[in-house]
Chains A and B, each alone.
Chain A
Amino acid sequence: DGGITQSPKYLFRKEGQNVTLSCEQNLNHDAMYWYRQDPGQGLRLIYYSQIVNDFQKGDIAEGYSVSREKKESFPLTVTSAQKNPTAFYLCASSKGQGFEQYFGPGTRLTVT
């Protein structure tokens, strides 16, 4: 069964702590993406990666970091520098840039 998995589904952290969200895909896709979703704002691109060992900042990269050491995995770290980290985070992948994106089920992060 091919797809994208994100874990955990719900995550709670204290302010000032870094937290890493997992995203794994077994679709053999080259490109992977992280989006943040807030109510009434649609999805905004945080980071994307076109190929292993390469990634680019999206529209709202401040306070976030990523790595792409394996084709299947694209973890996102929400650092303590992110001023408003509470949100729903969605990971996506595609064959390449310009191809249809497939989305994971999301992780809801709550920071108090």
Chain B
Amino acid sequence: AQSVTQLDSHVSVSEGTPVLLRCNYSSSYSPSLFWYVQHPNKGLQLLLKYTSAATLVKGINGFEAEFKKSETSFHLTKPSAHMSDAAEYFCVVRSSGPNAGGTSYGKLTFGQGTILTVHP
């Protein structure tokens, strides 16, 4: 079984200040983890992904995330927020492992989302 918890439903920052969006996960096997961004009434765009290579993952638009197995966390950060970063962000875990074959293999489990507001 796998699950994702995004610890904040809303985060508000000022333009130019750091962004931290928190995500904890639960997975029976080594997970693949993703962050997606969604602007209003749009589809989801992949920001970055972790698939068991380097634990610090760099994505698009200056975002990065660090996989911490001991803390089961995959927090998303950006050093300096821009107005265009205002959107909803989803942390996602993908199932894998020897018992996750068949219908469950590759299934994505989404967090509830974090709405990021950026103030001028």
Q: Do B112 and A98 touch (CB < 8 A)?
A: no
Q: Do B43 and A106 touch (CB < 8 A)?
A: yes
By beta carbon, the residue of chain B nearest A106 is B43
B interface bracket (residues with beta carbon within 8 Å of A): 20 to 34
Instruction: Kindly state whether residue A75 has any CB partner on chain B within 8 Å.
Output: no
Task: Report the stretch among B61-69, B73-81, B99-107 that lies at the interface.
Answer: B99-107
Q: Do B49 and A103 touch (CB < 8 A)?
A: no
Task: Report the stretch among A11-19, A38-46, A79-87 that lies at the interface.
Answer: A38-46
Instruction: Sort A-B residue pairs by CB-CB distance and give the 10 closest, nearest first.
Output: A98-B106, A42-B110, A97-B106, A103-B43, A103-B44, A43-B110, A105-B43, A42-B112, A104-B43, A106-B43
Q: Do B43 and A90 touch (CB < 8 A)?
A: yes
Cβ–Cβ < 8 Å partners of A43 in chain B: 44, 90, 108, 110
Bound form: Cα–Cα A98–B106 in Å: 4
By beta carbon, the residue of chain B nearest A43 is B110
Q: Do A90 and B44 touch (CB < 8 A)?
A: yes
Cβ–Cβ < 8 Å partners of A90 in chain B: 43-44
Cβ–Cβ < 8 Å partners of B70 in chain A: none
Cβ–Cβ < 8 Å partners of B42 in chain A: 105-106
Known A43-B110, A98-B96: A108·B41 in contact at CB below 8 Å: yes
Give 25 CB contacts A-B under 8 Å: A4-B43, A6-B43, A31-B106, A40-B9, A41-B112, A42-B4, A42-B113, A43-B90, A45-B107, A56-B103, A88-B41, A90-B43, A90-B44, A94-B106, A98-B94, A98-B96, A98-B105, A98-B106, A99-B106, A100-B49, A101-B108, A102-B46, A103-B45, A105-B43, A106-B43
Bound form: Cα–Cα A100–B42 in Å: 18
Cβ–Cβ < 8 Å partners of A4 in chain B: 43
Bound form: Cα–Cα A78–B104 in Å: 24
